[in-house]
Structure 1
Amino acid sequence: MSQLEVRTRTTASGPVIELAGELDHDSAPGILGLLPGLAIEPGQQLVVELGGLTFCDSTGITVLIAARNVALAAHSTIALAAVPDRVSRFFSVVGLDQVFPTHATIQAAEAAWTPPSG
């Protein structure tokens, strides 16, 4: 059975999910279950921090796409932070680097967020 630590918090730019451990078939249901309950407002940004990931399979990629769909449905954006090199390489190969903006840190992702005007 895989181990995945999940921490969530809310910042001025929106919710942050920090993942550490294995994001795979065993751990995916837990993340998929928390996504609908995120307090994400229109114009905010969901940040998913992956720096602590030790493993991510295709089911983990599905979880990230589901997180993107939740953000888009809330009229918000998503950004990934601290993406491990091996995951980043995989994203490049399958074209997901064109789908997910990535940043070195959570702070960099938050700094890149532009609040909606109006």
Structure 2
Amino acid sequence: MTGTPFSVTTRTTGAGAVVTVEGELDVATAPRLRAGVAAQALGPGRLLVVDLAGVTFCDSSGISALIAARNVAEAAGSGIALAAVPTRVSRTFGLIGLADFFPTYPSAEAALSG
């Protein structure tokens, strides 16, 4: 937690919602991701895309927030996908057994069209 700027922005598309995360996703910022996801209008046939292209760091609290986002999407009957997962985060997912837990795409646009 170095005070690096952090932001969560959202946009709605015809297929669902995109939540874009930038900065360090950690114990101090994970609640903002959870709130951003909770504010989305999800439902059957919709897709929640979490765009991680701007994430510079992700600790266990950030991973927990991503798992919580998956649970929220599934409870609403929506799908979830991660977009532009940084290599270091992808490597961590592999190490902790989450490599196949989330569908991943190179970009939010690819996730929405895929």
Which residue is 1:27 aligned to? Answer: 29
The one-letter code sitting in structure 1 at the alignment partner of 2:5 is: Q
Pair 1:15 & 2:17 matched: yes
Question: How far did 1:93 drift?
Answer: 1.2
Aligned counterpart for 1:73 among listed residues 67, 72, 75? 75
SS at match of 1:98: coil
**Bigger shift: 31-40 or 56-65?**
31-40
Percent identity over the alignment?
Answer: 52
**Structure 1 residues 56-86: Cα deviation after superposition (integer angstroms, max 9, x where no partner):** 0000000000100010000011000000000
Count of matched residue positions in the alignment of Structure 1 and Structure 2: 112
TM-score w.r.t. length of structure 2: 0.93
**Structure 1 residues 8-59: Cα deviation after superposition (integer angstroms, max 9, x where no partner):** 0001110100001010000112222232221112111100000000110000
- Structure 2, unmatched stretches of 5+, are none
- Structure 1, unmatched stretches of 5+, are 113-118
Contact 2:27/2:62 (<8 A) preserved: yes
Aligned counterpart for 2:91 among listed residues 89, 93, 98? 89
CA distance in 1 between counterparts of 2:15 and 2:98 reads: 23
CA distance in 1 between counterparts of 2:111 and 2:34 reads: 22
Pair 1:108 & 2:110 matched: yes
Contact 2:19/2:37 (<8 A) preserved: no
User: Runs in 1 of length 4+ with deviation above 3 angstroms?
Assistant: none
TM-score w.r.t. length of structure 1: 0.90
Contact 2:8/2:21 (<8 A) preserved: yes
